[in-house]
Amino acid sequence: MKKAEFHLALPCEDLEKTKDFYIYKLGAKLGRFTDGWIDINLYGNQITFTKVGEHLSFFVKDPNGYMVEFKSFKDHGEIFTV
C-alpha cells in the first residue's frame, strides 16, 4: 500500500508550547524553524506552525481530490525564506 505523506500548516499562539507538546509529549522531531514558525516531522509528515497573523491561507480542491493551499504573506519577502 502506498503511504500518503501530508503537509499541514496551522496557526499557533505560542511556538514554544507547541514545540514542547509535539516533540516532548508526542515524540515528533523538530524540522526547520525561525522565530516566526516551526516545522514538525510527525512520523514522516510535516506540520508547520506559524504565529497568528503571519499569513492568510485558503484552500481549493483540485481535480484529483488534493487540497491546494494558497497563501498571502504579510511580508512579501517571507515567501521563499528558509
CA angle 53, 58, 31 (to 5 degrees): 65
pLDDT at 80 over 60: no
User: Tens of pLDDT along 16-60?
Assistant: 999 999 999 999 999 999 998 899 998 888 899 988 656 677 788
User: Tens of pLDDT along 66-76?
Assistant: 777 777 767 66
Pick the CATH number of 7-78 from 1.10.3210.10, 3.40.250.10, 3.40.47.10, 3.10.180.10: 3.10.180.10
Rg from Cα positions in the chain: 14
Report helix, strand and coil shares of the chain as percent, to nearest 5: 15, 45, 35
Displacement of CA 59 from its chain's centroid (Å): 14
Q: pLDDT band for 11, please (50, 70, 90 cuts).
A: confident
**Amino acid identity, residue 38?**
I
pLDDT at 12 over 90: no
Compute the distance between CA of residue 55 and CA of residue 75 in angstroms, rounded to an integer.
Answer: 8
Q: Where are the domains of the chain?
A: 7-78
The predicted structure's pLDDT at residue 76 = 65
